[in-house]
Amino acid sequence: MQLGAMQVDAIADGTFSVHPKYFGGGVAGDARPEFFGRDNLAWLPIGCFLIRTGERTVLVDAGLGPDQDELPHGMRLVGGQLFVGLGALGVGAGDITDVVITHFHTDHVGWLFDLAAEPVFPNAMIWYGAADWDYFVNGPGDIRPHIRDGFLAHADRQHPLTHDTTVTGGITAVLTPGHTPGHLCVSLESGPAQLLLLGDAITCPIQLAEPTWHSYGDVDPTTADRTRQRLWTRLETIPGVGAHFPALSAGQVLPPSRWIATAVNGDQLQ
Ligand SMILES: [Zn+2]
């Protein structure tokens, strides 16, 4: 999509098949069959976003990489497609000037470093929430050894963030902790056009209809819930898209006042 002067492209690195139990142990295994329609799983993308401003080529999240991951209840992540998408857009690894990582879970950092812990994007600065470094690189968080080694060996090309920070004009990292301690969203703004890249702060729009549903891997579920509530309110004024939203489509929350207006206009209530 064109967002003012920015070109924004969604790229799936692969597929994340999600069981109802992803959203909490108390969620019934046969909940919402219209969503978990195939083998009791919803097939969601492992999303990355490429933003081209004319001067900078910014990648938000680095997928799972050439890897796969098995989770309980038959859930599985299969990655490896990011460079197919980048290639189709005419973008190579050396063109990326910045990589903004929403958080350090394996399906968001996979392409940062190769198995020898060398940078896959040789010219890129890497931006992330400093608290995720503490939790995943130095702490108990689960991280692939070559990714940890890469973070440790190439710290000179990284920006660990402790507060909301402008990456470049119109691209701002906004700290949104909970899913992980250093989770951040990326706010895009060009003229009047705005878009919020949500990472995994909201996994899926279905959580709007199911406010008690958490996300598997929420490091601090209470803070994650609070952050999610705040973001739903934010999405009443600007559109947003998460890394695992179906089809990586952006959406907006209709505020209650607009429900009435829509009903008066005779359109279908949403
Ligand atoms: Zn994720």
- Tens digits of residue pLDDT in 132-181: 999 999 999 999 999 999 999 999 999 999 999 999 999 999 999 999 99
Task: Please give the pLDDT value at position 269.
Answer: 36
Domains parsed from the chain with CATH numbers: 2-264 (3.60.15.10)
**Is pLDDT above 90 for 115?**
yes
pLDDT at 259: 55
State the chain's mean pLDDT as an integer. Answer: 93
Distance 161 CA to ligand 1 centre (A): 20
How many A from CA of 105 to the centre of ligand 1?
Answer: 6
Single-letter amino acid code for the residue at 170: G
Q: Does pLDDT of 270 surpass 50?
A: no
Q: Which two tokens stand for residue 104?
A: 């350090």
pLDDT at position 260, please? 53
What pLDDT, on a 0 to 100 scale, did the predictor assign at position 268?
37
- Ligand 1 centroid–CA 169 distance in Å is 26
Distance 89 CA to ligand 1 centre (A): 23
CA of 200 to the centre of ligand 1 (A): 6
**pLDDT tens across 194-230, in order?**
999 999 999 999 998 888 898 888 999 999 999 999 9
Distance CA 199, CA 244 (A): 8
Overall average pLDDT of the 87-102 stretch: 98
* Residues with CB in 5 Å of ion ligand 1: 107, 200
* C-alpha to C-alpha distances, 188 to 52, 65, 198, 238, nearest whole angstrom: 11, 25, 11, 10
What confidence tier does 56 reach under pLDDT thresholds 50, 70, 90? very high
Q: Give the single-character DSSP code of 79.
A: -
- Ligand 1 centre to CA of 269 (Å) is 31
Tokens of 73: 């209840």
Average pLDDT score over residue span 25-37: 89
Question: Cα(261) to centroid of ligand 1, in Å?
Answer: 36
Q: What SS3 state is found at 105?
A: coil
Q: How far away, in angstroms, is 107 Cα from ligand 1 center?
A: 5
For residues 131 and 181, the answer to whether their CB atoms sit within 8 Å is yes
This prediction's pTM: 0.93
Residue 46, burial from CB neighbour count under 10 angstroms (0-12, 13-18, 19+): buried
CB atoms inside a 10 Å sphere around CB 240: 24
The C-alpha atoms of residue 178 and residue 247 are separated, in whole angstroms, by 25
The answer to whether residue 48 scores a pLDDT higher than 70 is yes
Check if the beta carbon of residue 45 is closer than 8 Å to that of residue 244: yes
Structure-block tokens of residue 62: 């680095």
In sign, the C-alpha dihedral spanning 60, 106, 23, 132 is negative
pLDDT at 20 over 80: yes
